Amino acid sequence: MKTDLYILKFDPILKEKIWGGQKLKQLFHKNSPSSQTGESWEISDVEGNDSIISNGHYKGKSIKWLSEEFGSRFVGKKVFERFGTKFPLLIKFIDAAEALSVQLHPDDKIATEKHNSFGKTEMWYILQADQDAEVIMGFKNKITKAEYQNLVENNKLVDALNREKVKKGDAFIINPGFVHAIGAGVLLAEIQQTSDITYRIYDWDRVTDTGEKRELHTDLALDAIDLSHKSDFWIKYEERKNLASELFYNQYFKTNIIELDSEITRDYSDLDSFVILMGVEGKSIVKTDGNQEVLEQGETMLVPACISKISIESQNAKILEVSV
């Protein structure tokens, strides 16, 4: 008889990056030998980067296996009808010791046609930021495609970019085509569509260990870029203690934030989706009828769709609660 599903944890997939730092090791105790650990892929079904279960009866099995073995019991009936066995979200923690490249992502249409991939809509939640740390969000003013090309050709793109100072608790939505970059000194949680397609348009003229500049995707970016001036990238929200407060909602994911100093019950019986819990502050205990797991800061767990109710207990935690 097949063992039923339970609260799942996965081995982080750690990514060394030219801009990465040591906060993922120092603050979240990620087990990396590198001094430039830029990303921890917490839950991934990106090809070649399958998350592996780290707890319980199915330890060692992949997220792809879960989707194929359990289908709608794992992800939810509507989610399974929409995405099949492709898990739809990629969940990360990112540490930028140096600024990331200035970049943008294609939408579903372009990504499907050119890369056989989902597009990439993503949101950020700032976990920690050094003094005066910032992110790049779009342009200071609306510009034309010709003006944009002129800036790129003359290496003056940075002059046109809009910068925003950030602090812990800030949240942003980055839609496809929107030009953006994480600045130096920023540690964040990222929730996105399952896609690893990035168009790099400027990389601060830095070089790799071999003395070469990293590839830019100037031509690909031209078809996908949004040149308008926007200010709707800030996510405004209110927190209510011991309740789930909506952080952001779109067609790809819904994210709540839960601030806890006691025990609460979360009823998912009407949700028809898996739920991902990201520990962004403190420590909590997540319980079902069958088992319980500890969620530390910098950890992630997945509640399968067939589990309709959980309780979460903590004296000092903040959790991002993500579903489809």
Annotated active-site positions, please? 200
Strands 199-202 and 171-174: unpaired
End-to-end Cα distance, the chain: 30
| Dihedral sign for Cα atoms in the order 34, 35, 36, 40 | positive
Residue of 161, 167, 163 whose CA lies nearest to 135: 163
C-alpha separations of 11 from 39, 51, 289 in Å: 13, 7, 24
On whether the CB atoms of residues 145 and 180 are closer than 8 A, the answer is no
Chain length of the chain: 324
Q: What's the one-letter identity of residue 77?
A: K
Residue of 297, 286, 302 whose CA lies nearest to 51: 302
Name residue 37's beta-bridge partners. 16
C-alpha separations of 160 from 101, 135, 147 in Å: 15, 14, 10
Could you give the CA distance from residue 230 to residue 140 in angstroms, rounded to a whole number? 9
With a CB cutoff of 8 Å and minimum separation 6, the contacts of 2 are none
Could you give the CA distance from residue 14 to residue 49 in angstroms, rounded to a whole number? 10
Residue of 206, 192, 305, 197 whose CA lies nearest to 252: 192
Residue 190: both structure tokens together: 């990222």
Q: What's the one-letter identity of residue 1?
A: M
Residue of 304, 276, 300 whose CA lies nearest to 288: 304
Q: What's the one-letter identity of residue 229?
A: H
